[in-house]
Chain A
């Protein structure tokens, strides 16, 4: 899974380099698919339950599961890129949200807080902790900074398949839920909205939008639980420090 994660991180880096005003999400998808296949891996999402793309490309108020297409990115957009890579039967899953050129201060704060909440979730992945500890760590960072966690969608276990138990919510109560045991691998993925946490699903039955049209962001790691603490199997060069409580 670490090898799949390595390909995944390189894919995200490659896609990041192609993001600019005027590029279509289809072009980003093709870039990702070409690279993944060139590494001897397969794009996990392609054909998964009928999903047509190799990546999920979700802009602005679209939270997740955007189908790549002819939509051109514009300066000031946020674009979430979610990628799955399968190598030798093992799956890695990760996502980052990128700015397209210069973005507003509030949009940048949304990115910073969402990424910080992911890191807080990872830090909570200690042997013997429970899923509720992870969920609460994410939720605390997000809500202390005035944003909302999307509650209808959750992270998940990951291994031979993309979606395995347990579910990994982004809100919860410390000390509750399944216990984290050595060898578990989970995908932690805060989905955060500036406004209401409510969502709606588009007629394409994939694209998920914030119900109030507010901006959303999404970051995701695949994390293994080890005796030495959490090991991120999709470690991009993240530099964001956890956002301080009440820093808004």
Chain B
């Protein structure tokens, strides 16, 4: 589901929950949930490769 760009009259904003994403475990091919530090505002990995 797309989202309107900021500045558009219909813009509803991004979710406030950020700083989490999924990352492939080093030991397997599956994606594991990782808790991420919400320091950048982007849903990217910033704490290594540990699986929860």
Known: A163-B14, A185-B21, A224-B22. A156 touches B2 (CB 8 A): yes
Size class of the contact patch on chain B: 20 to 34
With A49-B12, A184-B21 already in contact, the answer to whether A191 and B1 are too (CB < 8 A) is no
A residues in contact (CB < 8 Å) with B: 1-3, 44-45, 48-49, 51, 56, 64-65, 82, 84, 88-90, 93, 95, 151-167, 169, 178, 181-185, 189, 191, 201, 205, 218, 220, 224-226, 231, 233
| Whole-angstrom CA separation of A151 from B2 in the bound complex | 11
Complex CA distance for A178 and B33, rounded to whole angstroms: 23
Tell me, in angstroms, the Cα distance from A2 to B10 when the chains sit together: 31
Q: How far is the CA of A165 from the CA of B23 in the complex (A)?
A: 17
Q: A160-B17, A183-B21 are in contact. Are A165 and B43 (CB under 8 A)?
A: yes
A89, A154, A183: which has the most chain B beta carbons within 10 Å? A183
Q: Which residues of A contact B36 (CB under 8 A)?
A: 183
B16-42 near A? 1/0 per residue, CB < 8 Å: 011011111000001101101000011
List chain A residues, Cβ under 8 A from B41. 165
Question: In whole angstroms, how far apart are the Cα atoms of A238 and B45 in the complex?
Answer: 28
Give the interface of B toward A (CB within 8 A).
Answer: 1-6, 8, 10, 12, 14-15, 17-18, 20-24, 30-31, 33-34, 36, 41-46
Q: Which residue of B lies closest to A222 (CB)?
A: B22
Closest to B22 in A: A1
Contact of B14 among A89, A95, A164 (CB under 8 A): A164
C-alpha gap A156/B45 in the complex (Å): 16
Task: Check if A167 sits within 8 Å of B3, measured CB to CB.
Answer: yes
Write 14 A-B pairs (CB below 8 A) sorted by A numbering.
Answer: A2-B30, A154-B2, A154-B4, A157-B21, A157-B42, A159-B20, A161-B14, A163-B3, A164-B14, A165-B18, A167-B5, A181-B42, A201-B10, A218-B2
In the complex the two chains form, is A184's CB within 8 Å of B44's CB?
Answer: yes
Q: Which residues of B contact A155 (CB under 8 A)?
A: 2-3
A64-B1, A160-B20, A201-B10 are contacts. A90–B33 as well, Cβ < 8 Å?
Answer: yes
Known: A160-B20, A183-B34. A167 touches B6 (CB 8 A): yes
**Contact between chains at A65 and B1 (CB < 8 Å):** yes
Which among A48, A152, A178, A201 is the interface contact of B1 at CB below 8 angstroms? A48
Q: Can you name 9 extra interface pairs (CB under 8 A) apart from A160-B43, A205-B10?
A: A56-B1, A84-B1, A153-B2, A157-B43, A164-B15, A165-B41, A183-B34, A220-B2, A224-B31
With a CB–CB cut-off of 8 A, which chain B residues contact A49? 12
B24 in complex: contacting residue of A158, A201, A224, CB < 8 Å: A224
